[in-house]
Structures are given as C-alpha cells and as structure tokens.
Structure 1
Amino acid sequence: MPKSLRTIINFSIFLAIGLGLIWLVTHNLTAQEKEDIISSFRRANYWLIIPVIFVGIASHWYRAVRWKLLMEPLGYHPSTLNTFFAVMVGYLANLAIPRLGEVTRCGLVARYENIPAEKLVGTMIAERAVDMLVLMLLMLITVVLQLDIVGIFFTRNIWEPLQAKAGGNRTWILAGILIVLVVLAYIAFRLIARSKIGDKVKAIFRGVWEGVLSIGKMQKKGWFIFYSLFIWVLYFTMMYLGFLCMDETRSLGIGAALSVLCFGSIGMIATQGGIGAYQILVQQTLILYGIHATTGYAFGWIVWLAQTLMVIVIGFASLVALPVYNKGKQQATTK
C-alpha cells in the first residue's frame, strides 16, 4: 500500500472515530439537555481562558528548551526560537495527520539548524518515553490520592450493575470476573505475540526503554528531569485555571484537576486531535466530582477549543516566522 494512501486511511479512521463519539453523545440528548449545553457555553467567562492559553504557550516553550537538552550530547546547539517554532508547527501538523508532527518538527530543525534528521529521531523517542512515564506516574498518584472517588465510580458503573444481574451473589461475580479476565488476557497475549502487531508493540517498548537509557548519558540530567516535570505542572495549571471560567467548576480542587488532566490526556491520544474522545473523558471525569453531564461536556469543549485554537494560531505564526527569523540570522552571519 502506498504511504500516502495509508496516511489518508489513518487520518480518516481517527477522524471518523472522533466524529462517531460526538454523535454517540449528542444524538440521544433531549431538547433540554441541548439547551443546558448551549447555556453553559453562554455563561462561561472566556476572558479567564486567556491565562490558560498563555500557560499553554509557556509549556510548549519549555518543551522546546527540553528538546534542546537532548540535542546537546549529539554536539548540536540549536536556537531556542527555531526549536520552539518547530515544536508549534509540529503540533499544527498533528491536527491534520496523526504522527506527522514528529516528522515535521525534526525536518524543520534539520533544515534550519543543519542537524541530520536521523539523529533527531532518537531525541523524539526519548521525549515520548519520558512523557509516557510522567503520565503513568501522575495517573498512579491520582488514583492513590482519590481511592474513594475511584471506588464510587467502580461501584456505581461496574459492581452494582453486575451484582444486580447476578442476583447479589458476590462470590460468583468475583470468580467470574477473574476467570474471564485471565482467559481474555491469555488469548490476547498469545494472539499479539504471534502477529505483526506484537512486533510493533515490542518495538515501541524497546524504543521507550532505549529513550530512557539515553537520558542517563546526558550532562544536564537534572535540568532535563526538572523541565519534564515542569511541563506537566504547567499542563495541570492550565486545567486548574480552566475551572475558573465556569461557576459550576470554580470550586473544584487539585484532585479534580489532576483527574481531568490524566484522563483528558488519554483522549488527546485516542482520536484525531483529541476530538470527541477528549470531551467525553473530561465529561465523565467531572461527573465523579458532582458536575452535571451537560456542564462537563461543555467544559471539555471549551478547554479543547482553547488548546486547539492556540496551536492553530501559534502554529501558523511559527510557520511564517521560521524563514523570516532564519533569513535575519543568515544576514547577520554574512556581515
């Protein structure tokens, strides 16, 4: 299959999943629920979204600074502005085609900083590995700190429906769940291990591990770890500040912000640009904290739109600024 055709198919599938999720949520809404969602949009204070956007830009700036640290052991010292512009254009490309952003930003830095693109691929693997580890750590912290809320979700959505269907016999429920999970896990493991997907999964984990090991060779490991954590602190700050834009979410605390950040991040990975999946996961997470489903759905859209518009505006601005900035650099070096 031609690469371009495969790219189009991947784009179509991810976008279709996202649009399908939007339809799944909205097609059964009553007229009152639709009016409630519209009312939530109208009552939101969009001026309070402006700080969220600036914090988001700062997170991308420090992502660029962190990326520079990964290039230094290779003997290259690109300018921070070029790296930042490449990061933003990469995010913009990801909105169009999945995974195109990584290729794009490597290509831009290679072009404007004269760094071989193949050497930048390893830095991308290291970045992904660290972000994945930090997200997993945050999810673990979130669950441990809020076992009561997680327990309520499990009881309400999984345990009670199963118990009702099984006539209240808890022993048989537990035994049945364990047996089914073990059998499914065994079958899935055997099927994946023998397939091409299994090879890809192994390659991904191998790449993640190699990326983590490469960090140990850095001279500025402390700064790299600091920036990696600080980026996620800024992501958390974006979510916490975002709560202020609606009266219903204004009183939510740190735990809610952590939960929405973690599960929303999964949504951003699941579909094209996070469309559909992000809003649903934010909505379902906020329900656990007593927020009405319509309000939670509207909040998910507001935060997603703020982030997406920021990427579009700054991404296109970066695309325009790159040749202008580098033309000025070339003129300065020739004088």
Structure 2
Amino acid sequence: MQNRSILKRVYSALKYFILLAVAGVLLWVSFKGVHWSDFKAGLLSTNFRWIALSMLVSIFVFWLRALRWRLIMLPLGFKIKRRDAWDGVNIGYITNFAVPRAGEFARCGVITKKTGLPFETVAGTVVLERSVDLLSLALVTLAVIILEWKKFGNFINREIVASFDNKFSANMAWVAGALVISFVVFLYIIFRFRERHPIFRRITDIAKGVISGVMSGFRMPQKWLFLIYTATIWFCYWLMSYTTILAFPAVEGLTAVDALFLTVIGGFGWVIPVQGGIGAYHFIISLALASIYGIAQTTGVVFATISHESQALTMLLCGAISLITFSLSKKR
C-alpha cells in the first residue's frame, strides 16, 4: 500500500514537470527570435485603460460562469449559494496554474465541503458544463470559418488539420478502436462483478454519481437562462479580445471579426493541458497573427503576452481572494 502511494506521488510529480516542460518549450519557441527592445516598446505603447476594461469583463465572465454552474446544480436538491459557486470557479482557475485540469476537481471540492453534495455528483455537473463549452467552441469556430473562409479556413487547414494528419497515421485508427473496445470491456467487467469486489462497487457508485450530476442539467429550471448565460459568456470573450486589439496600436487594423477569430484560436490555447495556458496561448496566438496577417513575430508575442497575462492576473487575483474567503468560512 505504501509503495502504491509512493508511485502515485512520483507519477503526479512527473506529470507536473513534464507539462511544465511542455509549457517552457512552447514559451521558448514563441519568444525565440524576439527583439527585446521592440518587445519593451510594444508594451510601453499599450493603452492599459483598455486592458483594465478587459480585466473587468473577465471578472464578469467568472460571475456568469458561477451563475450558470449553480443553475445546473439546483435540481440536485441542495441549497447552493451564488458565493460558493463563485469561489469554486475562482479556486478552480488558480488551481489550474499549479496543476493542469486539477481546477475542475478543486471547484467540485469547494461545493462538496460547503453543501455536503457527493463529490462525484458535483463532478457530473462539471462534465456537462465543460461539454457545453467544447460544443460552443466548435460552433463559434464553425461560424468564424464560414464568415471568412479564405482567411481563417486556410490557416486552420494548414496549421491544425494538416499538422494532425502528418503526425497521426492510419494506424492510429486501429489504436483508437482498440482503446474503445478495451474501455467497453472494462466497463462490462466492472458492471458484471460490481457486487463481488469493493473496488468495482466503488467505481460503479462514482459512475452513478457522475451520471446523476450530468442528468441534473436536463432537469434544470429556466433552461433559456442557461443559454443566455452561455451566449453572454462568449460575447464577453469576444469583447476581451477586441479591447486588447484596441489597447495595442500595432494591431489596430484588426476588425471585430478578427477579434472573434483570435477568441477562438486563444480558446484552443487555453484548452491545451499546460499550467494556465502558459506557452500554448502565446504560441498559437503569435502563430495566427504571423500566418494570417503577416504581423511580425515580436508584435504577435507582445499581443499574446498582454492578452494572456492580463487574463492570468485576473484569475490569480480572484482565485487568491476566493481561497482566503473560503478558508475563513471553513474556520467559522
């Protein structure tokens, strides 16, 4: 048992440092060849009033995400305060800067401790919410491609689709199929022998809890309000991107549609499982600006840095405040 605990800690540490190394490599690739005098000049030319507005919009997004998540959890039958959902969202963000994707577990833990809801049930609501986020990202991506196929479609086809095709051969289809079959067999074994082994029984209970959380979303009151929250969140994402364009004179020729494209591409940067999107966001944004608009690498990196660091700072500040208030509320 002790050896298993040691192996688990070693695995967690290795995963952390590997992902941190990936973030470091992406940062190095992004900043390689940057002219630091131009980088400094770009930062100094920024109108930080627009950045401050972008950060305020970001805080509003956190609040909307908390309200939307709470709406999903309401059918579970527990009284969930808006402040607890807000703290959960913020603590999740700050946790992701330490361990990628761990923020989802952290915010579930916040709600579990504040309400007594089973952890796996809360996790099910997060699964549903994140599924909606991915679907929304796919729909907005499709809208952007339709709006400006010549400009954006070629970039996505060349830099993302072609890259995927080059790295994954036809054999990967067989590997994927084998993994799916193995997963189905694994589920069958657990279900078939769930009464004979405590571990299988526990896995079954967890799965039921997650499914219960997911299904709660279909019983939520005011589904139209959920859609309004989601649409407003994406509007705010676009507004954050557009205000960053307005803040940086070197890219002032970019339009509102370009801001939507950068919102989508930046979304993919945040999805990549590295600490707080560090490196991944800088790389994909600077690549898009250079490939589509012919913007110099240094200028693109400055824009990506301003955009990412303003959002990261907002997440860290809100996360730190929520951590403090959550800790104080536990002591009471």
TM-score range, shorter chain: 0.7 to 0.9
Give, in whole Å, the separation in 1 of the partners of 2:132 and 2:295. Answer: 32
> 1:55: which partner in 2?
57
Q: Alignment partner for residue 276 of structure 2, among 251, 273, 278?
A: 273
Is 1:108 aligned to residue 79 of structure 2?
A: no
How far is the alpha carbon of 1:6 from its aligned partner?
2.2
1:217 Cα deviation (Å)? 2.8
Structure 1 residue 132 and structure 2 residue 134: aligned? yes
Structure 1 position 225, deviation (Å): 1.5
Aligned to 1:293: 297
Q: Select which of 239, 242, 246 maps to 1:240.
A: 242
CA contact (8 A) 2:68 2:226 kept: yes
Determine whether 1:69 maps to 2:54: no
Q: Is the 8 A contact 2:104 2:126 kept in 1?
A: yes
Conserved 8 A contact 1:256-1:289: no
When residues 183 and 149 of structure 1 are mapped into structure 2, their CA distance, relative to the original with a 3 A threshold, is closer
The one-letter amino acid paired with 2:302 is A
Q: Specify the code of the residue in structure 2 equivalent to 1:262.
A: V
Would you say 1:186 and 2:188 are equivalent positions? no
Q: Please, which of 31, 39, 46 is the counterpart of residue 48 of structure 2?
A: 46
Task: Name the CA shift for 1:105/1:211 in 2 (closer, same or farther; >3 Å).
Answer: closer
Give the deviation of 1:37 after TM superposition.
2.0
CA displacement 1:8-62 (0-9 Å, x = unmatched): 22211111111111222333x16xx332222211211223211111100100101
Deviations 1:284-327 (A, max 9, x none): 22231343221111110111111111111111111111244577
Q: Give CA deviations for 1:235-278 in whole Å, capped at 9, x if unaligned.
A: 11111111111112233212111111111111112222111110
Task: Kindly indicate whether the alpha-carbon contact (under 8 Å) linking 1:64 and 1:80 is maintained by their aligned counterparts in 2.
Answer: yes
* Offset, 1:184: 5.4
- In terms of mean alpha carbon deviation, does 92-101 or 5-14 score higher? 5-14
**Deviation larger for 274-283 or 143-152:** 143-152
Instruction: Report the Cα distance in structure 2 between the residues aligned to 1:155 and 1:99, rounded to whole angstroms.
Output: 28
- Residues 73-88 of structure 1 aligned to structure 2 (within 5 Å): 73-88=75-90
TM-score by length of 2: 0.81
Residue type of the partner of 2:322?
S
Unpaired stretches in structure 2, ≥5 consecutive residues: 188-208
Tell whether 2:312 aligns with 1:308. yes
8 Å Cα contact 1:110-1:117 kept in structure 2: yes
Q: 2:139 and 2:210 mapped to 1: Cα distance? A: 15
More off after superposition, 134-143 vs 70-79:
70-79
Matched to 2:171, the amino acid is I
Q: Distance in 2 between matches of 1:225 and 1:155?
A: 30
Superposition deviation, residue 156 in structure 1: 8.6
Amino acid at match of 1:224: F
Within 2, Cα distance between the matches of 1:8 and 1:82? 30
Mapped to 2, the partners of 1:211 and 1:258 lie a distance apart of 32
Tell me how far apart the structure 2 counterparts of residues 144 and 198 of structure 1 sit (CA, whole Å).
38
- Aligned counterpart for 1:20 among listed residues 2, 22, 25: 25
Distance 1:261 1:122, change over 3 A: same
Counterparts of 2:159 and 2:315, CA distance in 1: 36
Other-structure match for 1:227? 229
Inter-CA distance 228–212: structure 2 relative to 1 (3 Å threshold):
farther
Aligned residues: 301
Question: 1:65 offset after TM fit, Å?
Answer: 0.3
Alpha carbons of structure 1 residues 85 and 182: separation in structure 2 relative to 1, 3 Å: closer
The alignment's TM-score, normalised by the length of structure 1, stands at 0.80
Q: 102-111 vs 217-226, which deviates more?
A: 217-226
Structure 1 unpaired stretches of 5+: 159-176, 331-335
In structure 2, the partner of 1:6 is 11
